[in-house]
């Protein structure tokens, strides 16, 4: 089926793969890797990280610390803890003493202290203090609503609001459309999406896309492409071999879902992609391709094995968050690499490109600053080869 195909391949069937020869190129040139191969790289894109995390007890702690720093607008320490967590996730063994961590990159003094605490007491008191902190708890609650980021959560907290009912009862607060849907479908969309549910959604999108454009290309991306069993949403790339027709395809898919009565929410963003504005020097979190953020209605009967719902929930359907992005086909490989994640893997791909190769990578293109030219790619393997990186499979990108 398309589901397993796109999990395995992750390349458009309509695009030829003549660049595959680059797979056989030597991986990383020696000059830029002075460290022995046996050591762990500071870059997530030079590590293989599966969904099996042997150091969850430590990485959970680091993620709380990262988030708490994010809530306090401290980007540096936040990123440091995210990097530390990512390094530990890549290890095929469990950290059992502090000495082994001395050889690992990205573990600062603070991280070491937390590891030491956990090794000694089985838990970190610093982390427990954060978890029991009211502000942390409330900001965590508010940001769990679709459409509410740390800034809005902080604003509500500062105004003395402490619960959803406080927010909803406050007459001076105007919720935007996204937040309104976030509250309306809170129970459903704060619950994880299973692989079977992702597959069912894929079937729905697949039917819609191909009814409109028979040779359209649909690929599952995001966490499910990385082999995760659960996700907070389902991400897809939709495009067509006819360059320029991709945006129309996306709006037609949205219309079709609307007619089917399963579109519970849709925020459509038209393409602002402009080739002449590349390369982009400033980092942008989002790309410029046409995309939409959806909430779809998924019926129990559409899911193999049925929906995972509570006994008392007899509605027979659930709401699910779905993202669709629609790049021109000649940008497909960059979009696929960018949307496959993880976030930390993406961050480090870009950092590696910039710091080690003097190249700029984003979801649109790869630019070589030395040669002053763009490097074309039809597959993800082309991009890894251009970067002089060993190819990392999607399921090894759970950094
Ligand atoms: N992405 C990114 N930078 C962002 C947002 C997203 O690089 N600011 C990429 C990384 C993953 C991909 O897009 C999809 O995003 P999410 O759905 O948020 O991540 P996910 O890995 O699919 O996680 P989840 O399983 O929770 O959906
Ligand atoms: Mg996702």
User: How do residues 245-289 score in pLDDT, each as one tens digit?
Assistant: 999 999 999 999 999 999 999 999 999 999 888 888 776 668 999
Please confirm, yes or no, whether 235 is among the known catalytic residues.
yes
Note the pLDDT of residue 1: 62
**336-372 confidence digits (pLDDT tens):** 999 999 999 999 999 999 999 999 999 999 999 999 9
Task: Check if the beta carbon of residue 292 is closer than 8 Å to that of residue 323.
Answer: yes
Nearest CA owner, ligand 1 atom 14: 222
Note the pLDDT of residue 2: 64
Residues counted in the chain: 399
Please confirm, yes or no, whether 133 is among the known catalytic residues.
no
Q: Which residue has better confidence, 21 or 99?
A: 99
Q: Is the ipTM of this structure higher than 0.85?
A: yes
Question: Looking up tokens 């959560």, which residue turns up?
Answer: 153
Task: Check if the beta carbon of residue 373 is closer than 8 Å to that of residue 15.
Answer: no
Note the pLDDT of residue 182: 98
pLDDT above 50 (res 108): yes
Residue among 188, 206, 235, 287 flagged as catalytic: 235
Neighbours of ion ligand 2 (CB under 5 A): 222-223, 231, 233, 235
The candidate with the shortest Cα–Cα distance to 219, out of 232, 231, 202, is 202
Contacts of 5 (CB under 8 A, 6+ apart): none
Please confirm, yes or no, whether 323 is among the known catalytic residues.
yes
Q: Which residue has better confidence, 6 or 159?
A: 159
Angstrom distance (rounded) from CA 104 to CA 107: 7
Sorting pLDDT into bands at 50, 70 and 90, what band is 308?
confident
- Report the atom number in ligand 1 closest to the C-alpha of 233: 27
Note the pLDDT of residue 23: 31
**Ligand nearest, relative to CA of residue 228:** 1
Sorting pLDDT into bands at 50, 70 and 90, what band is 319?
very high
Note the pLDDT of residue 192: 97
pLDDT above 60 (res 14): no
Angstrom distance (rounded) from CA 140 to CA 127: 14
Sorting pLDDT into bands at 50, 70 and 90, what band is 40?
very high
How many angstroms separate the alpha carbon of residue 34 from the centre of ligand 1? 32
**363-396 confidence digits (pLDDT tens):** 999 999 999 999 999 999 999 999 999 999 999 9
Note the pLDDT of residue 236: 98
Task: Check if the beta carbon of residue 105 is closer than 8 Å to that of residue 41.
Answer: yes
pLDDT above 70 (res 33): no
Task: Report percent pLDDT > 70 for the chain.
Answer: 90
Task: Check if the beta carbon of residue 387 is closer than 8 Å to that of residue 359.
Answer: yes
Angstrom distance (rounded) from CA 289 to CA 292: 10
Between the alpha carbon of residue 165 and those of residues 37, 111, 168, 170, 191, the distances in Å are: 55, 37, 5, 8, 20
Question: Looking up tokens 């190129």, which residue turns up?
Answer: 25
Note the pLDDT of residue 74: 97
CA-based angle 166:167:169, to the nearest 5? 65
| pTM of structure | 0.91
Note the pLDDT of residue 5: 59
**Ligand nearest, relative to CA of residue 325:** 1
**Ligand nearest, relative to CA of residue 195:** 1
Q: Where are the alpha helices (DSSP H) in 15-169?
A: 56-71, 75-89, 98-101, 109-121, 125-131, 134-143, 150-158, 164-169
Angstrom distance (rounded) from CA 391 to CA 48: 10
Note the pLDDT of residue 13: 40
Residue among 60, 133, 166, 323 flagged as catalytic: 323
Indicate the pairing of strand 234-239 with strand 317-326.
Answer: parallel
Other CB atoms within 10 A of residue 227 CB: 17
- Report the atom number in ligand 1 closest to the C-alpha of 231: 25
Low-confidence winner among 32-46, 229-243, 248-262 (lowest mean pLDDT) = 32-46
**116-129 confidence digits (pLDDT tens):** 999 999 999 999 99
Nearest CA owner, ligand 1 atom 10: 341
Note the pLDDT of residue 93: 96
Contacts of 270 (CB under 8 A, 6+ apart): 247, 290
Note the pLDDT of residue 116: 98
Note the pLDDT of residue 19: 31
Note the pLDDT of residue 6: 61
How many angstroms separate the alpha carbon of residue 36 from the centre of ligand 2? 35
């Amino acid at each position: 089926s398309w589901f397993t195909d796109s999990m395995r391949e992750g390349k458009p069937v309509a695009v030829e793969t003549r660049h595959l020869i680059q797979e056989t190129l030597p991986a990383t040139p020696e000059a830029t890797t002075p460290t022995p191969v046996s050591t762990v790289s500071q870059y997530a894109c030079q590590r293989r990280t599966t969904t099996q995390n042997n150091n969850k007890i430590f990485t959970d702690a680091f993620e709380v610390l990262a988030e708490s720093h994010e809530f306090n607008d401290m980007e540096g320490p936040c990123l440091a803890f995210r990097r530390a967590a990512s390094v530990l996730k890549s290890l095929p063994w469990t950290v059992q003493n502090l000495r082994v961590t001395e050889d690992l990159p990205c573990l600062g003094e603070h991280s070491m202290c937390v590891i030491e605490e956990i090794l000694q007491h089985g838990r970190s008191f610093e982390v427990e203090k954060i978890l029991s902190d009211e502000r942390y708890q409330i900001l965590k609650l508010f940001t769990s609503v679709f459409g509410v980021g740390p800034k809005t959560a902080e604003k509500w907290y500062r105004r003395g609001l402490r619960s959803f009912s406080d927010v909803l009862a406050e007459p001076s607060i105007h919720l935007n459309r996204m937040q309104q849907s976030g509250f309306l479908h809170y129970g459903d969309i704060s619950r994880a999406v299973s692989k079977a549910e992702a597959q069912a959604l894929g079937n729905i999108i697949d039917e819609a896309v191909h009814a409109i454009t028979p040779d359209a290309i649909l690929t599952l991306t995001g966490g499910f492409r990385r082999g995760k069993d659960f996700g907070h949403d389902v991400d897809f790339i939709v495009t067509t071999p006819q360059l320029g027709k991709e945006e129309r395809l996306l709006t037609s898919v949205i219309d079709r879902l609307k007619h089917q009565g399963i579109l519970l929410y849709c925020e459509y963003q038209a393409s602002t992609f402009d080739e002449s504005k590349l390369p982009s020097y400033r980092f942008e979190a989002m790309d410029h391709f046409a995309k939409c953020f959806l909430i779809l209605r998924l019926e129990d009967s559409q899911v193999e094995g049925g929906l995972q719902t509570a006994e008392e929930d007899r509605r027979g359907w659930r709401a699910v968050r779905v993202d669709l992005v629609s790049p021109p086909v000649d940008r497909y490989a960059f979009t696929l690499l960018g949307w496959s994640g993880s976030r930390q893997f993406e961050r480090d791909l870009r950092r590696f490109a910039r710091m080690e190769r003097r190249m700029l990578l984003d979801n649109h293109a790869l630019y070589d600053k030395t040669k002053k030219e763009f490097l074309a790619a039809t597959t993800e393997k082309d991009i890894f080869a251009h970067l002089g990186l060993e190819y990392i499979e999607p399921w090894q990108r759970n950094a």
